[in-house]
Structure 1
Amino acid sequence: MTPQEIEALFTREEGGFLFARWGRPIAPIVFGVEEATLSVLKGAFEAVAALSGHKLAETDPELGGNCMVFFFRDWSELLEVPGLDGLLPDLALLVPRLQAGGANQYRAFRFDAEGAIKAAFVFLKMDAALARLPAEELALAQVVQVFLLWSERAFRDRSPLAKAGGHIILRPEIAGLIRAAYDPVLPAVARDPSQALRLFARMEPGS
C-alpha cells in the first residue's frame, strides 16, 4: 500500500483529509440479533481490538454503550426506537433519505472536543444482499469500518476483507494500516495529508 493509497482512504467525498481513531475504550452494544450472531459480533470486536491494541469496555462512563449496532428489516423501525432521536437529532430527515436511496447500511460518528471518535452508530437493514452474507463476514466488515473514520469511498469498490484457507480475514494491508493507526506516538486526529506518510512509515513491509 502506497502513501497515496492510504491518503485516499481518509479523504472525504467533499474533499479534504480527515483521520480519526477512537479516543476512549469502545463499549459495543448490539440490538436486534439472536445470541449466536451476538457472539460473532463480539468476536469481531475482540479480534480487531487485539490487532489495533485498542481497548474494549463493558460500558462507557459518559454514554453507557458508545458503539451501537442496530439490525432491522425496515428503516422506519428506527423512528420507533425510544431515545434514538436524541442521539441522532436528524433521524427524522435521515430515514426518508436512506429509504429513497435504497441503502442497506449507514454509519454515524460522534467526536470529542479534540476530534477523536467517542461514539459510533451502525445501522444495518437486513435486505436480501446482507442476509446472504455469512455472519462472520458481515460482522468483521462492520467492525473494521467503525474502528477508524474511513472515507465514505474507502470500501465502496473493494471490501476490506479477503478469504484465506476457507476463512474470512482482513486484507493484510488493511490490518497493517489499522495497527499503524493506533500507534500511541501518532495523534488520534489529523487533518493534514502528511499523516498518510506517518502511517505508511509504521506499516510492516508487505502490508
Structure 2
Amino acid sequence: MTPEQIETLFTRQDGSYACARWGRPVAPIVFGVEDGTLKTVKGALEAVMTLAGHQMAETDPELGSNLMFFFFRDWDELLEVPDLDRLIPGLAPLVARLKAAGASQYRAFRFDGQGGIKAAFVFLRMQGAMAEMPAETLALTQAVQVALMWGDAAFAETSPLAVLPETGATILRPEIAGIIAAAYDRMMPVAADDKSHALRLFARLQAPAAGQPQS
C-alpha cells in the first residue's frame, strides 16, 4: 500500500487524521448469540490480537468487560437493554438516526488519557446481508474493525478480508494485517492525529531487516 492509501484508512469525514490502538488488554463479552457463535467471535479476536502482539484478558479491572458486542434483529431492541443508555449517552436519538439511515452496524469507542482505546461497543443488526454472512467472516471482519480506530470509510468499498482461490478459505488481507501489526509496534504511539503517522506505518510495511531500528 502507498502512504496515501494508508492515510485514507484513518481519515475522518471532516478530513482529519486519527488512529488509536488499545491501551489495555482486551476483555470481551458478547450478547445475543449462541455458544458456537460466541466461540467464533472470541476466536477471531484472539487471532487478530495475537497478530497485533496485544493481550486479551478475562476481565478489565476498571470496567469488567471493555469490549462489548451486541447482536440483535432490530435497533429498537437496544432501548430495552438495562443501563445501556448509561454506557452510550444519547442512546435513543442515536437509535433513531441509525434506523433512519438503515444502518447494519455501529461502533463506539472510549479513550484513556493517552488517547488509547479503553473501551469499545459494537452493535450489529442481523438482517439482510449481515445475517447471511458466514459467522467466521463476520467475526473476523468485526475483530479487525475494533482492533484499531479506523477512518469512517476505511472498509466501505473494500473488505479487510480476502478469499483464497485454492481453498476458498477467508483470510485477513496481508496489507491490512501488516498495518495492524505496525500500529501496535512498541515504538509507535498509542494514538496519533498527524498524517505523518501514516508514513511511519508505511515504513514498517517495507519488511525491514530483523533488529533494524525504526523511527
Aligned residue for 2:70, secondary structure, equals strand
Partner residue, 1:142: 142
Letter aligned with residue 171 of structure 1: R
Partner residue, 2:4: 4
Q: CA deviation at 1:204?
A: 4.2
Letter aligned with residue 48 of structure 1: V
Q: CA deviation at 1:192?
A: 0.8
- Would you identify which runs of 4 or more consecutive aligned residues in structure 1 move more than 4 Å? none
Quote the Cα distance in structure 2 between the aligned partners of 1:185 and 1:198.
10
Unaligned runs of 5+ in 2: 208-215
Aligned residue for 2:62, secondary structure, equals coil
Letter aligned with residue 186 of structure 2: P
Partner residue, 1:172: 174
CA contact (8 A) 1:176 1:204 kept: no
Partner residue, 1:27: 27
Q: Any residues of structure 2 matched to 1:81-100 within 5 Å, and which?
A: 81-100=81-100
Partner residue, 2:105: 105
Quote the Cα distance in structure 2 between the aligned partners of 1:125 and 1:96.
14
CA contact (8 A) 1:41 1:140 kept: yes
Q: CA deviation at 1:203?
A: 1.3
Partner residue, 1:203: 205
Q: CA deviation at 1:92?
A: 1.1
Partner residue, 1:152: 152
Deviates more, 1:196-205 or 1:179-188: 196-205
Partner residue, 2:213: none
Quote the Cα distance in structure 1 between the aligned partners of 2:168 and 2:140.
15
1:38 aligns with 2:38: yes
Q: CA deviation at 1:143?
A: 0.7
Letter aligned with residue 178 of structure 2: G
Q: CA deviation at 1:179?
A: 0.5
Quote the Cα distance in structure 1 between the aligned partners of 2:206 and 2:185.
13
Cα deviation, 1:131-188, whole Å, max 9, x if unaligned, reads 1110000000001000001001100001000011211100110001001010011100
Partner residue, 1:60: 60
Quote the Cα distance in structure 2 between the aligned partners of 1:204 and 1:46.
25
Question: Alignment identity in percent?
Answer: 65
CA contact (8 A) 1:20 1:116 kept: yes
1:131 aligns with 2:131: yes
Task: Kindly tell me the number of residue pairs found equivalent between the two proteins.
Answer: 205
Q: CA RMSD in A?
A: 0.8
Unaligned runs of 5+ in 1: none
Letter aligned with residue 82 of structure 1: P
Partner residue, 1:14: 14
Quote the Cα distance in structure 2 between the aligned partners of 1:70 and 1:42.
13
Q: Any residues of structure 2 matched to 1:177-196 within 5 Å, and which?
A: 177-196=179-198
Letter aligned with residue 24 of structure 1: R
Letter aligned with residue 108 of structure 2: A
Q: CA deviation at 1:14?
A: 1.0
